[in-house]
């Protein structure tokens, strides 16, 4: 026993000098060389455009050249009613759909997580997320507006007597965006919440049961507070995504009626690629970036500090 260990150590010692032949400098640099291509690629498509946009936001960009403008773009933005409207629209549409999808997903998760069938087949609920977003948006556009499928259905059931004008009325148009987003993303939250609930200690639930708690009471007093970190992560992920909501707006409403469904992303797109005011669009992007970072930070701190037992 002792003999073999000694032999093994001897072999290791003999092998050591061969490994040491690479110089210390090489040994330090080598790992970085290995990850360099990926890092360069990632920085190239994220950091570079970001820095470029921030730099560009201090210029008035025309086809003939860049004219330095200081913080002029930002000053203009803060006085631009359309920008404020876009900010407000994003907040309203995003806020309502995020609240709705969270509430619906939590409720479904609460009813479903003890069901063995859902444990086994929860991957199926990911389906709506797997469809191409633009295709989904087109289908909703068809259902609400062009094809009037929804109006038609409602008329046949007798709930309404004439076609609903989904594009013409402010809240109808916003509603279509909310419905589309809720449909596509509730399952994602549902899965996260089901996983969170299933990961909880079953004995705690049983103890509460014996203490006389009903299922809703258990959910409200125990499961939900314990789920705080999970909910926080889900809300932050979805929140960032919703803040940059673009595809549905671009395909379904294009900001109509009267810009009341124009989100910030769409505002930036319109300013940059329709009005070709790149400096101005860059400034708006920079503001949005800062806003998302601040909100995410605040949420993270709030939920995780107090979430700790």
Partner 1 sequence: MAEIELRNISKKWGHFVGVKDVNLTISDEEFVVFLGPSGCGKTTTMRMIAGLEDPSGGEVVIDGEVVNEVDARDRDVAMVFQSYALYPNMTIYENIRFPLRMRRVPKEQHAALVQRAAEMVELGDYLERKPGALSGGQRQRAALARAVVRQPHVFLMDEPLSNLDAKLRTAMRVQLKHLQRQLKITTVYVTHDQVEAMTLADRIVIMDGGEIQQIGTPHEIYGDPANTFVAGFIGSPPMNLIAGHLEGGVFSAAGLRVEGLALEGSREAVLGVRPEDCHVNGAAGHLTGRIFGIEPTGDQTFVSLRSDDTLIEIRADRDFRAPLDSTAQISFDLDRLYFFDATSGERLR
Which residue of 214, 294, 297, 298 would you call a contact of partner 1, by CB under 8 A? 214
Should residue 1 be labelled a site residue for partner 1 when binding is judged by CB under 8 A?
A: no
Nearer to partner 1, 74 or 215 (CB): 215
DSSP 158-189: TS-SS---TTTSHHHHHHHHHHHHHHHHHHHH
| CA–CA dist 93, 262 (Å, integer) | 10
Contact 287, 74 (CB under 8 A): yes
| CA–CA dist 147, 219 (Å, integer) | 42
Contact 266, 250 (CB under 8 A): yes
- State in angstroms the smallest separation of the CB of 206 from partner 1: 5
3-state secondary structure of 308: coil
| CA–CA dist 270, 63 (Å, integer) | 17
Which residue of 27, 209, 301, 302 would you call a contact of partner 1, by CB under 8 A? 209
In 3D, which of 270, 237, 244, 243 has the Cα closest to residue 256?
270
Should residue 163 be labelled a site residue for partner 1 when binding is judged by CB under 8 A?
A: no
| CA–CA dist 286, 120 (Å, integer) | 44
Should residue 221 be labelled a site residue for partner 1 when binding is judged by CB under 8 A?
A: yes
Should residue 305 be labelled a site residue for partner 1 when binding is judged by CB under 8 A?
A: no
- State in angstroms the smallest separation of the CB of 112 from partner 1: 20
Should residue 210 be labelled a site residue for partner 1 when binding is judged by CB under 8 A?
A: yes
Should residue 208 be labelled a site residue for partner 1 when binding is judged by CB under 8 A?
A: yes
- State in angstroms the smallest separation of the CB of 215 from partner 1: 9
**Alpha-carbon dihedral angle through residues 127, 131, 135, 139, given to the nearest 10 degrees:** 0
- State in angstroms the smallest separation of the CB of 204 from partner 1: 5
Which residue of 14, 127, 203, 305 would you call a contact of partner 1, by CB under 8 A? 203
In 3D, which of 152, 163, 172, 142 has the Cα closest to residue 252?
142
Should residue 130 be labelled a site residue for partner 1 when binding is judged by CB under 8 A?
A: no
Footprint (CB under 8 A) of partner 1, residues 50-109: none
Count of chain residues binding partner 1 (CB under 8 A):
18
- State in angstroms the smallest separation of the CB of 201 from partner 1: 7
Should residue 162 be labelled a site residue for partner 1 when binding is judged by CB under 8 A?
A: no
Would you tell me which residues interact with partner 1 (CB under 8 A)? 201, 203-204, 206-214, 217, 221-222, 225-226, 309
């Amino acid at each position: 026993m002792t003999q073999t260990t000694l032999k093994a150590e001897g072999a290791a010692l003999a092998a050591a000098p061969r490994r040491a032949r690479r110089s210390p400098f090489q040994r330090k640099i080598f790992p970085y060389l290995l990850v360099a291509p990926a890092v360069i690629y990632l920085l190239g498509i994220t950091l570079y455009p970001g820095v470029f946009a921030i730099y560009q936001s201090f210029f008035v960009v025309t086809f003939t050249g860049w004219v330095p403008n200081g913080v002029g773009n930002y000053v203009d933005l803060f006085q631009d009613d359309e920008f404020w409207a876009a900010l407000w629209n994003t907040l309203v549409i995003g806020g309502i759909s995020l609240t709705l999808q969270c509430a619906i997903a939590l409720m479904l998760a609460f009813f479903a997580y003890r069901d063995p069938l859902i444990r086994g087949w929860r991957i199926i609920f990911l389906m709506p997320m797997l469809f191409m977003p633009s295709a989904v948006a087109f289908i909703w556009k068809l259902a609400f507006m062009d094809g009037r499928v929804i109006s038609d259905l409602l008329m046949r059931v007798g709930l309404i007597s004439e076609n609903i004008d989904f594009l013409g009325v402010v809240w109808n148009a916003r509603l279509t965006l909310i419905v589309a987003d809720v449909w596509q993303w509730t399952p994602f939250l549902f899965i996260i919440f089901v996983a969170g609930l299933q990961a909880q200690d079953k004995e705690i639930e049983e103890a509460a049961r014996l203490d006389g708690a009903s299922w809703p009471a258990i959910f409200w007093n125990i499961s939900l507070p314990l789920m705080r970190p999970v909910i926080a992560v889900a809300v932050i992920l979805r929140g960032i995504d919703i803040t940059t909501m673009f595809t549905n707006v671009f395909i379904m409403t294009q900001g109509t009626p009267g810009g009341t469904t124009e989100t910030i992303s769409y505002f930036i797109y319109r300013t940059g690629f329709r009005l070709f005011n790149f400096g101005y669009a860059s400034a708006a992007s920079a503001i949005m970036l800062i806003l998302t970072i601040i909100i995410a930070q605040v949420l993270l701190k709030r939920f995780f500090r107090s979430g700790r037992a």
